[in-house]
Amino acid sequence: MNLVKILLIGMLLAGCKDESGSLKQDELLIKYQQTITQEILGKDWTISFIDIEENSLCPKDVTCIWLGRMVVALEINGVDEQLGIGDLTTNAEEEIATKVVVDGVLITLTDAYDTEEESTTKIKLLFEEAD
């Protein structure tokens, strides 16, 4: 009987999803219009998710003909940057990057999604030493 209780509790805890808990040490999850200051790769970073320039991403639970894209405006250590994710080749007039190098660190926009439960948009940034 105790084994059954332990298994049930374990399954319950496994079902709880904490997005911030699934982040690697060199990743940052930030909400729309949020500013976070954090040390990553031995450097202090202040990242502000300023604006959503475009959001035409296909929702995760929907099958779409076009993947869509999201373009966001960020302020990284006082410098304005624009990054995108998804299909960034649809507008040949503007170049939208998925990554930028700041202070010798490569910062990549790896995920972007809307959350219904919080009624906001979140993005995930990956920090890596630039070559």
pLDDT tens, position by position, 47-97: 999 999 998 888 778 888 887 889 999 999 999 999 999 887 766 566 788
Q: Please report, for the chain, the start and end positions of each structural domain, with discontinuous segments joined by +.
A: 19-129
pTM over 0.85: no
Cα separation, 18 vs 71, whole angstroms: 25
- pLDDT of 61: 80
Mean pLDDT of the chain: 81
Cα separation, 104 vs 66, whole angstroms: 34
Strand, helix or coil for residue 90: coil
